Structure 1
Amino acid sequence: MLTRALGVAALTGLLAACSQQGAPQAGVPSPAAPTPAASTTVAHSGTMDYVQNELVVGYADEASLQKAAQAVGGTVVARIPEIKSALIRVPGDALKLTASTMQLAGVRYATPNVLAKMDPGTTVSAAGTASGIGAQANSADQIFDELPQYALDPRHLNAKVAWDAGLTGKGVVVAVIDDPGDVSHPDLNPNWAGKAFDPLQNKVYTDAKEWVNYFKKDANSHGTYVASSIVAARDGKGIVGVAPEAKWLPVVMFNPGSYGSFYIALGAVWATNNGARVINNSWGGGVSFGAVKDAFDYAMANGTTVVASMGNTYHDEFQYPAALPGLIASGALDASNRKVTFSTSGRHISSSAPGQDTMLARPTWQGGGHALISGTSFSSPYTTGVAALVLQKCPAATPYQVRRVLELNANSAIGSNPSGFDRDTGWGGLNAGKIAQTLTDCAQLPAKGANVAINVAYTDSSGTHPGILADVILRGQGMRAGATDDPTPLYLTPTDADGLARFSEIAPGTYDLYVAGADLSVTGGLADSRGTFVGTITATSGSTYFTPDRKQVNLTSVAPDLNPTDPYEPNDTPDQAALIAYGQTTQTAYIYGKPQDYDVFKFTGAAGDQIKAEMLAAAQLGGQLDSYLYLLGPDGKTVLAENDDRGTPRLDSDSEVNFTLPAAGTYYLKATSYTISEGQNDSSPFNKYRLKLTKTN
């Protein structure tokens, strides 16, 4: 059995791996209270884990939401009205409902509530007191408060120069979306903003003891380490954060284990509404659209900078949310200002910060004190802290302006290109002191970023349709493809069910625009029916989320059929079986239209006939069907043979039955999906297949 996710719905959220070593719009309503399920079942599809009975829906209005809930037989249990996203609890498998839900009027997207994952790492050097981790061979300029922190010294973040210039983060609130940080830790309590939020409960905590008593678990430590990078108080004790007078809002997304993407989005919206000017995300993965992207777009539209770790995959690749348009993506450096080998590379990287053997605070429920810890999970919060310094100096700076200040003042000598950008370290190592020295007047801020909205439509013989499931790429002109030192921006995102693709807080300039129709790996179909467009668009400095630079793209393309007609229905039982003969391949048919659809075909054979029946599905036609095929005897009941995945060894997820008929008579082929064969529901308009029957002797 090969499980497949619905293309753009495959939104895996993976916490950036770590190894531990040594102001909102006025009048916007608050999110509605979610009702956590009494019990949840985690389902798996490929590398994606999700809550089996929870569907996340983007909706146009309340009426559309209620109709969607009714159509899937579900109940709306939570809303985020700011971004018009809702959580619907459904019977059956949410993943299998995504395609059919997206065809409903007023639905912008439908995804399963994908779970994030966390690698807690291991601590090899930790102590409850400063005496347990001494300065050893550290130079004097690396001792901050009591403990050595090379990350802050003049050769790295150069923090003291910024502090001496008055840039301490004072007046700036940052949010950390992570596991629950220890608001009682002596290094963190002085800068706790007095609120902490658990999206799963929709509960705001204002009492440190209550928060700690509820969340103190051995598995919860990551958020404490992350927060201390940013806001550990400068009080002569323990360690100090790079923005030691900024305030901090903890937002939970692990406790332990995973929260779904809906709750991450809810947390980001709550943080924005509660004054966070920077949101740190030390997690990454394939979250490329849906509620999380909407929530970060909402944050940036309201002036909140969003920072994310590049990830720890060792590869040059897109990781989400770091690759989302408008985010500041942070890579990791070691003490020698070299890229750490695990740090993910890519064109979307912004800059880098220390992320190996960083001295950070350990939760009191683990004994307190401090530990040496590594990962891009910790370069990201250092970047968040430096962003807070910029926003203290220039509170009106937009997210793109904050990003460019960090990049323009980074140490470009770090990395493989000593004169500027490279895909390993971005624009170089962050330097807070240089920012303090150069950003003396907010009139010196770089130009504002741009916001772009691309509307896609399909035109075919039946008319014009919304450009659902299209891929949209903005590629800066003059890009040198493959060059590791080319900073030309590249942004990509899929369209929603309305055919809309948004790019928030991107670099202004002229872009080559590439649009391709529905992804055939999702929908299936012929390559020449996809449709493409190549053109240009100018992203204007100062355009906003609410007044973006817009472009309409009309593709001559076959629109995805979200309500296909099976030419052989009804053929659900042997009595209704459709005819098929040796040497014949059926037209395209569908496992669709009911929760458990079985399509039955019959043929006549002679004793000794060696037959091969092939169910050509996702692997050979595209689409979503992980097929399952039965051969039934003349009674229409007895299973003579069955197959899930063809080949020995296995080739792919399509099905093939090879069998020698024992006697002359009428035999039956029953086609369905693997999911249905396991007793679960499966109904997708992209569950397409063709049945081929051959006599091989």
Structure 2
Amino acid sequence: MKKTLLLISVVLLALVFASCVRVAPGNSAGADVELVWKQIQDAPYVEGRLIVGYNDIEALSEIVSLLDAEITIDIPRLNAAGLRFDSTVEEARAAIRELFVERPELVASIRYIEPNYERELIKPVKDDNLKLPELPVVLAEDAFPDLEGFLWGVKKVRAPQAWAAGYDGTGIIVAVIDTGIDSNHPDLQGQITHRYDPLLDLEIDPDIDYSFGAHGSHVAGTIAAKDDGHGVVGVAPGAKIMDIPIFQPDYIGDEFVAAGIVYAIENGATVLSNSWGGKGFSTLLYDAIAYASENRVVFVNSAGNEHVNEVKSPAMYPGVVVVAASTAGDGITHFSNRSVKLSVAAPGDFSILSTVPLWDVAEFAYPDLPYAYYGGTSMACPHVSGAIAILQQKYRDMGLTVYQYRKLIELGADDIMAPGKDNDSGYGRLNVEKSLSLDPDAFGTGGNAFFWIQTKRTYYDEELEGDYPMGIPGVYVSMIPHDRNLPPIYIKSIGDLELAGAAAFDIDVGMYDVYFGSGDLFDPSSLLYFSGRVQEQEGMKWESYEVTHNPINYVWADVVEFSSSPKLVIEKISVFQEGTEIVDPEITLLQFIVTAINAFTGEEFSSTISYDGGTFALPDYAPAPQYTLTSEPFPGLEDFLADKTVVFTGYVEYDNDPGRRIYFERELPAGTGFISDGWSFYFSAF
């Protein structure tokens, strides 16, 4: 299999094509793949809001005008914007679809359109029995007592041994993407260097209280509370914190979170600590996290506290370090989510002591002391974020990839559950001292995978003076590793009709079975949206696809061609007058002209169908990608059919496969109109 080496920028991809590989229909994609995508897309979203990825700002303006919408935020780095409008999402979808039908040239200028999914903070698990009436230590005069003795988690991950070796996170900035932080807390004073409010698109004074809840302050304390002999101390006390509040107190939306991620990356953060999630594959968040990977920024995410094994966003995206919660006895908490996506576990039972806002007295574990005992994967996650800051201090000049930092964390962990990697603790419980002793060059740089998703048929590009395949945005790609200890990869093709691809960065090397299909019918920029081809795509499979270590900044690109070879089969034609079917030998002499009209070029291809039915297939030279199907009576029959209704019954079949048919029954006054409008406005010619 021939490949082409590409220099990759996550957002702007060069127009280069590798050798073509036809992905033939294989076995069923398997219940696990289909179930994952069903769970992901069966997700609640916010009404009156959409996210639009664009290539042309003028096309975005057309949609804004159509919906009478306002742009909530524009993110030029990711070529995406958030929209707010008064109608429902379904009404907006219908309006956009109609616009694209009338002006198909706009489709090429839109990368994706998606809802704004609901997300939730992974809330801490609390035990009120840990709220004590008095502190069992002697209070220091005019200062908070030294509480380091209560920080079993910091000791468990062997952070003090890392400090003794000279590594405490100095020079590293960790972005806490959470509920905001109280910078007035004595343990956090001077530790917050940047603060950005994505909802306002403003930088905020980092020295004030900007907390919308206690969660973010607790996380910040575990990462980088000062080591000054008072209060608590973080895993990486030499690191600094960037505050990105995305729960104010409710979730502000994917578009604002993506803007916050971009801000963090471009203002010096090299670790992103996240304790939130939800269903719904967000192309925008996927783009933002891919941008982080491109810039060697590590995205850390809590696994969740529901004791379920379910893939959620953002933990599902390639390269994310997913963290479970462990106990003081090196078990796994009962609430911690299980998953093959887990990298490691870290301390997160009920007794993780850390900072809370000075105003949130109800959370104080001890009277007059702004500290609380929390549990949860939200408390485990910052232990890992702090540990990565320590590793980055040591290796900051080596330009390690996200994959290498993930492997340092994973392979340095202490195995605590089933031998080897498991779905409870990943590779084990975090041990930063051991991670510091490993050689990152021994792991390689990590693998990347990139698939051009395109049509087998071509179209003629007048500007380039040649025939080119069309891209197919919105195709789901699932990479299932042969080694079931490795995490599966879930991505989606992004782009436009000229070029669409699905990319996975910083992934594990090895052999994968790659499933293509279950296309995103929500996305009006996708050919799949118009054609309804989910049924036709199920089970497309590339067996034993190998991912190897790639040179940094490069990725091998492989082309996946979708072929449809569509044909229209009219099984029966019935003629009715005033609701009664006409049965007359002369009716059998009727003929109809079926015409396929290319939605983009206007080219027409026609065939005559008799009353007994027949088959119409596009010639091989007919260009991609979509056609409307119309019917009209054979010349001379118009007057006879003027007061009658003609019912066409049949199906569209793809690739001559009886298992891939879409059936329809369509009533047309006088036998004239769109046949295809009965099941989908378009049928696909790939």
* Alignment TM-score, normalising by the size of structure 1: 0.65
1:365 maps onto 2:359 in alignment: yes
Q: How does 1:183-582 map to 2 (within 5 A)?
A: 183-193=183-193, 195-209=194-208, 212=209, 215-216=210-211, 220-356=213-349, 357-367=351-361, 369-395=370-396, 396-412=399-415, 414-415=416-417, 417-418=418-419, 420-436=420-436, 438-439=437-438, 444=441, 446-459=443-456, 465-476=470-481, 478-479=482-483, 486-496=484-494, 498=496, 499-516=500-517, 518=519, 527-528=535-536, 530=538, 532-544=540-552, 547-557=554-564
* Pair 207,351 (structure 1): closer, same or farther in 2 beyond 3 Å: closer
Counterpart CA distance in 2 for 1:113 and 1:488 is 30
Counterpart CA distance in 1 for 2:403 and 2:57 is 33
Alignment check: 8 A CA contact 1:134 1:148 kept: no
Counterpart CA distance in 2 for 1:112 and 1:511 is 30
Alignment check: 8 A CA contact 2:217 2:356 kept: yes
The structural deviation recorded for 1:123 is 4.9
In structure 1, give the amino acid aligned to 2:400: A
In structure 2, give the amino acid aligned to 1:55: L
Counterpart CA distance in 2 for 1:383 and 1:403 is 10
Residues 180-230 of structure 1: CA deviation (Å, up to 9, x unaligned): 11111111123222x211100011112523xx2xx455xx11111111110
Aligned to 2:166: 166
Alignment check: 8 A CA contact 1:450 1:507 kept: yes
Find the residue that maps to 1:271 and give its secondary structure.
Answer: helix
Counterpart CA distance in 2 for 1:119 and 1:317 is 14
1:74 maps onto 2:69 in alignment: yes
Find the residue that maps to 1:208 and give its secondary structure.
Answer: coil
Counterpart CA distance in 2 for 1:542 and 1:525 is 34
Pick from 19, 44, 48: which aligns with 1:48?
A: 44
In structure 2, give the amino acid aligned to 1:449: G
Residues 516-540 of structure 1: CA deviation (Å, up to 9, x unaligned): 2526899656734656232454434
Alignment check: 8 A CA contact 2:122 2:276 kept: no
Alignment check: 8 A CA contact 2:60 2:110 kept: yes
The structural deviation recorded for 1:117 is 2.6
* Pair 543,318 (structure 1): closer, same or farther in 2 beyond 3 Å: farther
1:149 maps onto 2:151 in alignment: yes
Find the residue that maps to 1:338 and give its secondary structure.
Answer: coil
The structural deviation recorded for 1:69 is 2.6
The structural deviation recorded for 1:54 is 2.3
The structural deviation recorded for 1:77 is 3.9
Find the residue that maps to 1:277 and give its secondary structure.
Answer: strand
In structure 2, give the amino acid aligned to 1:87: G
In structure 1, give the amino acid aligned to 2:446: G
The structural deviation recorded for 1:71 is 4.2
* Pair 519,189 (structure 1): closer, same or farther in 2 beyond 3 Å: same
Aligned to 1:89: 84
Find the residue that maps to 1:190 and give its secondary structure.
Answer: coil
Alignment check: 8 A CA contact 1:517 1:557 kept: no
Alignment check: 8 A CA contact 2:269 2:297 kept: yes
Of 255-264 and 493-502, deviating more is 493-502
In structure 2, give the amino acid aligned to 1:358: I
Alignment check: 8 A CA contact 1:520 1:527 kept: no
Alignment check: 8 A CA contact 1:343 1:376 kept: yes
The structural deviation recorded for 1:346 is 1.3
Residue-pair matches, total: 497
Alignment check: 8 A CA contact 2:89 2:115 kept: yes
Q: List runs of 5+ in structure 1 lacking aligned partners.
A: 1-24, 29-44, 137-142, 480-485, 560-577, 583-684, 690-697
The structural deviation recorded for 1:304 is 0.5
Counterpart CA distance in 2 for 1:53 and 1:686 is 29
Alignment check: 8 A CA contact 2:345 2:380 kept: yes
Find the residue that maps to 1:223 and give its secondary structure.
Answer: helix
Counterpart CA distance in 1 for 2:456 and 2:538 is 11
Alignment check: 8 A CA contact 2:298 2:320 kept: yes
Aligned to 1:181: 181
Residues 251-274 of structure 1: CA deviation (Å, up to 9, x unaligned): 011111121110110111100011
Of 143-152 and 157-166, deviating more is 143-152
The structural deviation recorded for 1:87 is 1.6
In structure 2, give the amino acid aligned to 1:224: S
The structural deviation recorded for 1:513 is 2.3
Alignment check: 8 A CA contact 1:519 1:530 kept: no
In structure 1, give the amino acid aligned to 2:88: D
In structure 2, give the amino acid aligned to 1:470: V
* Pair 506,46 (structure 1): closer, same or farther in 2 beyond 3 Å: closer
Runs of 4+ in 1 over 6 A off after TM superposition: 460-463, 578-582, 685-689
Find the residue that maps to 1:511 and give its secondary structure.
Answer: strand
Counterpart CA distance in 2 for 1:686 and 1:182 is 58
Find the residue that maps to 1:456 and give its secondary structure.
Answer: strand
Q: List runs of 5+ in structure 2 lacking aligned partners.
A: 1-8, 13-40, 101-106, 139-144, 362-368, 460-467, 523-527, 567-576, 582-676, 682-686
In structure 1, give the amino acid aligned to 2:383: Y
* Pair 351,100 (structure 1): closer, same or farther in 2 beyond 3 Å: farther
Counterpart CA distance in 2 for 1:207 and 1:388 is 20
The structural deviation recorded for 1:326 is 0.7
* Alignment TM-score, normalising by the size of structure 2: 0.66
* Pair 246,286 (structure 1): closer, same or farther in 2 beyond 3 Å: same
Alignment check: 8 A CA contact 2:404 2:440 kept: no
Aligned to 1:673: none
Counterpart CA distance in 1 for 2:284 and 2:535 is 30
* Pair 533,686 (structure 1): closer, same or farther in 2 beyond 3 Å: farther
Q: How does 1:670-685 map to 2 (within 5 A)?
A: none
Counterpart CA distance in 1 for 2:542 and 2:301 is 31
Sequence identity percentage: 28
In structure 2, give the amino acid aligned to 1:90: F
The structural deviation recorded for 1:231 is 0.5
Alignment check: 8 A CA contact 2:125 2:376 kept: no
